[in-house]
Chains A and B, each alone.
Chain A
């Protein structure tokens, strides 16, 4: 039996994504991101949302999507979502509609998807004129190895501190 569920949709790097509408707390205009030094590349920093400090996930970086059409920060939107790890802010390009999707139209993620995207996509939904990628939030907040390791230079041994 087909189950209908509501999905909040958004666009990022030209791709149409959906997440369960129930897990979206709110969508924000761009708020200043306070950088966290030495943090993984996919996590540019934290924001102050009415006194709550929330981590920001750069979805483009996380999914290793192209940067070519990257918007200016002021044009970026933020979707605050509830995950098992607490609230998380996703950087997105543009907010789409809330769609009432029939689970009968779900298909498993295609082999042709980029591995990084495929790993966090739970379903693909064929809409009339485009594809909707349904993201798995639980998987999304488990950062893969490449995203965890921050760029760090190794300190050479035996460096001279001062010479008097």
Chain B
């Protein structure tokens, strides 16, 4: 494209963003001549430049707008919301045309005659004295010279006084730089850092004083250079703020609400890519605040609040991170309604809900498929949104939190790392391939000798499990999961395991070698590798080799683990869609087979009979410094007949009993006594047979036998509440006659 046109599009687009904001300000303060002048100048410059470049549609449109604005400047017309509506529509249309021009180099097919007509109508209606520009619409636009002298060349940026561009700093001394140039600079600097590291290492071995001094100098300069290049990528959040007034205005007008937007900390800086990434989430949160945060005016007055609501957006740096808070003074989130909705949608059970704290319930707004909006409006209530916000923020390594006080408002808090450029990661090697595991997901690194490994890990049919500090974790191997070639079987005599956490679940990964922690620069992978879906990117390492950055959540999912986030999503379709789950298969005292989802299993134990104690008519035991309830699964499943179904199996080991320690989403763990642990099974579940008793999700055939999948949350809640009849207790009290 012609560089003249390119500059024109770039500068006009930037100016338009400012226009949105200025129009909204002007609406609040219609007599502000300075604002009006600035708006007029922007439109005028666009008109002038496109006449020069031959964009007729754009010229017609901006001309009509300019004429209207010049009446306002002359004081013949005062901006009101209906005029502002049309003018904002014009801004949108201009933006649209600019986009077409940017893409194709010419104006698009779209006609804007209606809009031009609307602009003219507003003007004609109010015409009192023939202002010089007012007569212009009658003439063909090309021939009409505007009242201002046309600019000699398209240099619109120069017309904006520096004070109006808070982020641009001093106008002189800044230049425009292509983002891709910045990207490649960042790349080169990262490489330079790696080369420097190599030199530093080598030079310290040579004992050449002169070389060492030179390398030291290089070291300092490289670090400074890196800092500077990273700084060049930082942009003030005010860029994001520019879009907000228009958004709040449009949405609140649609809904008949009156809302003031207050922004603070506009000069807080953030990496350009990250700023881009938080744009959509922030827009969504603000829409939410406008739509179901702030109440309708009548409602606000009746609850003793000022008629106009306030949305406050505040940005600041703290703890090396970027923070953004979006707070409204609206009705707050109705936790009861969130709870009811979540139960109705099958996301949680009533029993679970009862145990959840207010904060936990509030966090449900981030779960997929939940919307508390009474009405589905064009703005919100479709049940997509906050979950996407959360996903987007987490993707860039950030966190999102919501706090709400009933009647007083809601506050959403985003915390984002300052820059995406480098992350701290652990590098590991499997079959000669290097992988990087983000430090943020790392829990622990383990190394077992062969005896320990045999004791700690168990394997059947190539699928494995790790007992880690008593917990039972799925154990995946990079080599087998990624089907890595293992020409040279790696054998150091040690089993190296990395325990990671992804989306709230822990699991273990076996690798050949654990290298070390290093700062890595994330680089995107070519699109050819996107469909593998297991790598978030690649990184070049200090020794020049390349590491693939593991996407731990996808890796777990691919291997058939159910992660916390998936459970909600799967609830509704469990009967139809295939889902993969890992379960612990146990047998109860009379041989019935029960399946416990592995997510809630903390430990598998063989416990001494002598540890059983009684308290309040129920069995308890001291377990790792806690007093935990001990119950038998069949006592909870409410089928008395099972007690007569067959002979009880003898214990595996005399004087001991087998137990599964389980933990729900909250509360203390519970110990369930079982007869046998039959194994850990990875299942692809297509369809469950409907349950025949309470506390069972459904049944299915596993290894030719029917097993019931248990709803552990319900069972755990019942044990916690003491809501069961311990049959075993009665027989124990009967004494030796029981035969135990």
Contacts and interface: CB of A to CB of B under 8 A. Distances in A.
A85 B530 CA distance: 13
Given A34-B434, A46-B525, A164-B458, A158 B546 contact: no
B596 to A, nearest CB: 13
Given A158-B683, A158-B703, A55 B529 contact: yes
B620 interface: no
Given A37-B433, A160-B681, A162-B460, A51 B538 contact: no
Which of B191, B482, B548, B703 has most chain A Cβ within 10 Å? B548
B28 to A, nearest CB: 47
Interface string B459-494: 111111100000000100000001111000000000
A151 to B, nearest CB: 8
A145 interface: no
A44 B525 CA distance: 13
Contacts of A158: 681-684, 702-703
A43 interface: yes
A162 B678 CA distance: 8
Interface in B50-83: none
B527 A85 contact: yes
B545 A34 contact: yes
Nearest to B586: A164
B463 A161 contact: yes
Nearest to A88: B526
Nearest to B538: A53
A155 B703 CA distance: 16
B677 interface: yes
Interface in B144-198: 187-188, 190-191, 194
Interface in A131-163: 143, 148, 150-153, 155, 157-163
Interface string A10-53: 00000000000000000000001011111110010011101111
Interface in B511-559: 523-529, 531-532, 534-535, 538, 540, 544-546, 548
Nearest to B700: A158
A32 B531 CA distance: 23
Nearest to B604: A164
A101 B482 CA distance: 46
A39 B604 contact: no
A107 to B, nearest CB: 31
Nearest to B187: A51
B528 A34 contact: no
Given A53-B525, A55-B526, A46 B546 contact: yes
Contacts of B548: 34, 36-37
A36 B525 CA distance: 10
B560 interface: yes
A157 B682 CA distance: 7
Contacts of B534: 37-38
A162 B188 CA distance: 49
Given A38-B532, A53-B525, A157 B683 contact: yes
A46 B538 contact: yes
B529 A39 contact: yes
A117 interface: no
Contacts of A36: 525, 529, 532, 535, 548
Contacts of B19: none
A65 interface: no
B680 interface: yes
Interface in A89-131: none
A54 B523 CA distance: 10
B585 to A, nearest CB: 8
Given A85-B527, A155-B560, A158-B683, A48 B545 contact: yes
A161 B529 contact: no
A161 B678 contact: no
Interface residues on B, range: 35 or more
Contacts of B523: 52-53
B560 to A, nearest CB: 7
Nearest to B537: A53
B681 A51 contact: no
User: Counting chain B CB atoms within 10 Å of each CB, which of A37, A39, A88 scores highest?
Assistant: A37
Nearest to B702: A158
Contacts of B699: none
A40 B528 contact: yes
Q: Which of A32, A152, A155 has the most CB of B within 10 A?
A: A155
A143 B528 contact: yes
Interface string B654-693: 0000000000000000000000111111111000000000
B12 interface: no
B461 A51 contact: no
Contact of A51 (B194, B526, B683): B194
Contacts of A150: 532
A85 B526 contact: yes
A10 B532 CA distance: 31
A68 to B, nearest CB: 22
Contact of B679 (A46, A48, A52, A162): A162
A161 B703 CA distance: 12
B466 to A, nearest CB: 10
B465 A162 contact: yes
Contact of B681 (A52, A86, A143, A161): A161
Contacts of B524: 53
Contact of A160 (B191, B434, B676, B703): B703
A51 B540 CA distance: 6
A53 B546 contact: yes
B582 interface: yes
Contact of A159 (B544, B676, B682): B682
Given A40-B528, A53-B540, A160 B463 contact: yes
Interface in A51-77: 51-55
Given A34-B545, A160-B463, A39 B680 contact: no
Interface string B437-460: 000000000000000000000111
Contacts of A153: 483
B464 A162 contact: yes
B680 A162 contact: yes
A34 B677 contact: no
A164 B679 contact: yes
A57 B524 CA distance: 17
Contacts of A40: 528
A39 B681 contact: no
Nearest to A54: B526
Nearest to B583: A161
A86 B527 CA distance: 9
A39 B540 CA distance: 19
A39 B527 CA distance: 11
B536 to A, nearest CB: 13
Contacts of B465: 161-162
A162 B458 contact: yes
A37 B684 contact: no
A160 B460 contact: yes
Given A39-B528, A48-B540, A51-B188, A164 B677 contact: yes
Nearest to B585: A160
26 contacts: A34-B434, A34-B538, A35-B484, A36-B525, A36-B532, A37-B484, A38-B482, A38-B534, A40-B528, A46-B526, A47-B546, A48-B546, A53-B523, A53-B524, A53-B540, A55-B529, A152-B483, A157-B684, A158-B681, A159-B460, A161-B464, A161-B582, A161-B682, A162-B458, A162-B465, A162-B680
Given A37-B534, A46-B538, 4 more contacts: A39-B532, A43-B528, A85-B527, A153-B483
Closest 3 CB pairs of A and B: A51-B191, A37-B482, A161-B680
Interface of A: 32, 34-40, 43, 46-48, 50-55, 85-86, 88, 143, 148, 150-153, 155, 157-164
